[in-house]
Structure 1
Amino acid sequence: MELKFIGQGLDSENDIAAGDYLIDSLNDERYTSFKAFVAFISKSGIENIIDELTGFIGNGGSVCLYVGVDLNSTSKEALEKLIELGIETYIIFSPNSIIYHPKIYTFEGDEYSRAIIGSSNFTKRGLFQSIEASVSVSFNIEEDETGNNFLAEVYEYYNTILNDENPSCNKLTPELLKILIDSKVVLPEAVNWKKQNKVNKEFGSKDSAAYDSLLKKFGKLKAKRPPKGYKKVVTKEEICFNEDKEESITSEIIELETGSMWIETGKVTGGSKNQLDLSKQGKLDDEIIQGSVAYFGIVPDEIDTIKHIDIKLGGKLYKDNPIEYRLGNSNWRLLLKGVTDDGDKLTSISRMQLGQEGGFVYKILLFTKIQDEIYKLEILDLNDKETLIENSTVWGKMGRGNTGRAYGFI
């Protein structure tokens, strides 16, 4: 028998996280069966091991998940993804105060078995980023009676669930998912995000003196980057200048960064095609979500605010791009008109005539905060919209309806 302690979250550079063990096990040809008993599952948890998971199934492996939905912590999108992938899944839910809360992953083959048991839920943070602890137990089933007895005890305890005999256990189907959504046991990720944001507001702003004191006492841990098994990549259009300041466009594949925000531009207003609309709020499936203007640290209803930000694009820093509220249009706007220290104007890109109406027209602009008041800007093609939606923690349409331009938060 081989016992291994799995610690993660304290040393992001060197940790071998629970998710890494899952990936290793799914790639291990000795295993042909994978079961998971988990309290929560998220779409990002699935997507970070989706290549290995589908590869395991493609090689003839069987997968069965036993998932909880308590505390609204398993999302609608995660369960939809499991249905889409055709993964056999059972939902465990008791409509009282009893919470289904295990985190057990088992792998079995003809000769070897493995069980990973600990605190890691089937979410991106649980598998790769949060401070968690698990134990991996691996053994040869023909030689290790203790290991066989151990795994048999696990299965014996969950026997009624495994045999679909427990009244709190039901197979996941589109019909069951609709019931869970209609009863608000399972919520869209956008709604969960909104709930969390509301709680944060109710308990005070993080700009308070008390929070500043807290930050002086506690340092921030660096989060581990999830694996690249699910590559979150898009195509960036890089603006290049030669010695004569003539512009050209090249394409480059980039990986999305957590904490970024993207906005679909549409036609773009202004004579220089450089005025980007920002929303006070947005909508997704009739649920209100935070507007895009808040990403820049602006309170949407404080319409007298004028904020100036610097934008880094194509290796240059364009300073003094104002964000202001336009009463006549009843919306916020970012005016992309910054100028570098060398006198290069951002409007020279927005006016570009390289076979296009303008550098920002019918594109997607991806913003990533570098530091206070400085944001990196990358120009993406509209073809990347679905990839951005799939990788967003929340996304929606601008305005009060469901027909505005899309935006989202990575």
Structure 2
Amino acid sequence: MELMNQPFTGQLGDRLIELLDSSKYHTLNIAVAFAKNSGILRIKEPLERFRAQGGKVNICVGVDLGGTSYEALTALLLHTDSLNIVHSEKGQTFHSKIYQFIGEDIGLVIVGSHNLTGGGLWTNFESSIHVPLVGDCADNKLVLMGLDNYFETLTSLENSFMRINAQDEVDGLLKNGYVFKEVAERVRQQKATISDGNRKRLFGNGVTAHLPRISGIKYDKVADIEQSITPESVQFVNDEAQYNPEAAMQVVTEGEEALSLSFEHDESPTIWFETRKMTGGSRNILDLSMKSLVEKGDVTGTSFDLEEKGFMRGGVEFFGLNPLDTNHGKDITLNFEGVDYYGNTILFPVGEKANGTWRLQIKGISNDGRRITDAFKAHGEEYYLIAKIISFTQIQSDYYFISIFPESEIEDFRSISRILARNGSNKTAKQFGIF
């Protein structure tokens, strides 16, 4: 038996990954109050390895207090065998945090305070008891019986227990206000904090605890994902700069601390852009400026600091690229609606049709061969990204999840951004912000 006091004596996320990869267990049952992409996207590859070896993953999750996001449920639907929602309309919060591993002659139960979020699994102050179940002793039988009874009781809650079998059921939870998009919820919460302008900070910043790098991301369908992009490797086809891998010069490795602004433990840095018309044949190319006009915020001492009054490094800096080093670009992975799309290219084009700015080509392909542009078209609009707000939330320096919002919400995004700027050096350029 072990007591884990996170982050001092370990981090549950690391332990879960070890257990999933240990080959000791065939089933993982989870009951948690909250789930967010910050946790799910960091364990989805171990979950898939576990399932590929015949393992089963079953989860019951609550949707109370805005703690579970639309994106997290979308990802869980893809990476678990059974996804279930527990919710009471009378304000009775589902607040369990249980992780049960079951093997042939062995088991492990973790009970504590850890939710299925980045903070809950890695950075928050959390505590849990880890109870190994080996042998047929009476105490072990009592624990297993109690767990079996608990999960069976949850499934018998009738209208307070919902099995999620398809994406349209997750969409229904979003439509009816039971879950929210993560970025939208952060906007709402930050607006509430700003409105309480008299609140004073009475405490410090806690202790240092790091989120992990993600290992095991597969690039099966995009062979050139790791290669550098140089001006010589770019040519224009139908107004879209195409990458020629034979002319690539070297691999570009990016540091995890590309963005040196400070963020809350369970939050990842997010940048949003006003899209307006977009460019490219599928209207899927986002311009990223080299230099930006600052409208709000102080970037002094951050990676965005241009040391020029009123200006900052452009939005391409957020993705770990030096705006002035136009000789190199990179490919990034974008997670959209739970699916990873590889090979979204950031480059600085040259030639007749170049416009003197960096470009992010949102053109990735999933491991099963689906294009992200086809996922956009599935929303029923010919050009889904036109006249929208697109946000990028960093999971690591080459991996982001994206969300799309109507242009009508731009004032809310403006009001809560720590840094607000123009995607260019004049006031008519498209807007972007960081929070």
Normalized per residue, the structure richer in strand is: 1
- Within a 5 Å distance, the mapping from 1:220-239 to structure 2 comes to 220-229=206-215
Report the residue type matching 2:358 in the other structure.
Y
CA distance 1:4–1:262, change in 2 (3 Å): same
Compared CA separation, residues 361 and 24, structure 1 to 2 (3 A): same
Q: Could you say which structure has the larger radius of gyration?
A: 1
Aligned to 2:188: 195
Unaligned runs of 5+ residues in structure 1 are 240-247, 268-272, 279-292, 298-307, 324-333, 337-345, 365-380
Q: Provide the secondary structure at the position in 1 that maps to 2:358.
A: coil
SS in structure 1 of the partner of residue 28 of structure 2: strand
RMSD: 4.3
Q: Secondary structure at the match of 1:49?
A: helix
Choose from 91, 101, 110 the match for 1:107: 101
CA 168–94 in structure 1, closer or farther in 2 if over 3 Å, else same: same
Matched-pair contact (CA < 8 Å) for 1:398–1:407: no
Answering whether residue 175 of structure 2 is matched by residue 179 of structure 1, we say no
Does the alignment pair 1:254 with 2:254?
yes
Instruction: Give the deviation of 1:189 after TM superposition.
Output: 0.9
The superposition leaves residues 165-204 of structure 1 with CA deviations (integer Å, 9 ceiling, x where unpaired) of: 5331110133332331121011111221111101211222
Shift in alpha-carbon separation, 1:351–1:176, aligned structure 2, 3 A? closer
The answer to whether structure 1 residue 322 and structure 2 residue 310 are counterparts is: yes
Pairing partner for 1:168 from 141, 149, 160:
160
Higher mean C-alpha deviation, range 179-188 or range 255-264: 255-264
Equivalent residues of 2:113, 2:128 under 8 A apart:
yes
Matched AA of 1:225? L
What TM-score does the superposition give when structure 1 sets the normalisation length?
A: 0.64
Partner of 2:151: 158
1:18 corresponds to which letter in structure 2?
A: L
**Map of 2:40 onto structure 1:** 46
More displaced 10-residue stretch of structure 1: 124-133 or 226-235? 226-235
- The count of corresponding residues between Structure 1 and Structure 2 is 318
- Structure 2 CA distance for aligned equivalents of residues 347 and 105 of structure 1: 45
1:147 partner SS: helix
2:240 aligned partner: none
Identity of aligned residues (%): 21
On the 8 A contact 2:100/2:109 being kept in 1, the answer is: yes
Aligned pair partner of 2:6 in 5, 8, 13: 8
The separation in 2 between residues aligned to 1:70 and 1:401, in whole angstroms, is 24
Among 62, 67, 82, the residue aligned to 1:68: 62
Query: Cα deviation per residue 1:368-398 (whole Å; 9 max; x = unaligned)?
Result: xxxxxxxxxxxxx766898955745775579
Letter of the 1:17 partner, please give it.
Answer: Q
Change (3 A) 1:250 1:382: farther
The verdict on how the C-alpha distance between 1:238 and 1:312 changes in structure 2, with shifts beyond 3 A counting, is farther
Pick aligned residue for 1:361 from 357, 361, 376: 357
Aligned to 1:281: none
Deviation at 1:87, TM superposition (A): 3.4
